[in-house]
Structure 1
Amino acid sequence: MELLRLGAVGEERPYVRAADGTVHDLSSVTQETGGDIDGAFLAADGIARTRAALEGGDLPVADVEGLRIGAPIARPGAVVCIGMNYAAHAAESGSEPPKQPIVFFKHPNTVVGPDDDVLVPRGSAKTDWEVELAVVIGKPARYVETDEDALACVAGYTVSNDVSERAFQIEESGGQWSKGKCCETFNPLGPALVPADEVDPTKLGLRSWVNGEPRQDSNTADMVFSVAALIRDLSQYMVLSPGDILNTGTPEGVALSGRFPYLKAGDTMELEIDGLGRQQQKLAQA
Structure 2
Amino acid sequence: MSEAISLEAVVPDSISGKRLDQALAELFPDYSRSRLKAWILDGSVCIDNQVIDKPREKVSVGMLVSVDAEIESEERFVAQAIPLNIVYEDDDILVINKPAGLVVHPGAGQPDGTLLNALLAHHPAIDQVPRAGIVHRLDKDTTGLMVVAKTLPAQTHLVSAMQAREITREYEAVCNGVMTAGGLVDEPIGRHSTKRTQMAVNPMGKPAVTHYRVAERFRAHSHLRLRLETGRTHQIRVHMAHIRHPLIGDALYGGRPRPPKQASEAFLTALRGFKRQALHAAQLSLHHPLSGEWLSWQAPTPDDMVALLEVLREDRRQHAD
Considering Cα pairs closer than 8 Å and 6+ residues apart, tell me whether 1 or 2 has the greater RCO. 1
With the length of structure 2 as denominator, give the TM-score of the two structures.
0.23
With the length of structure 1 as denominator, give the TM-score of the two structures.
0.25
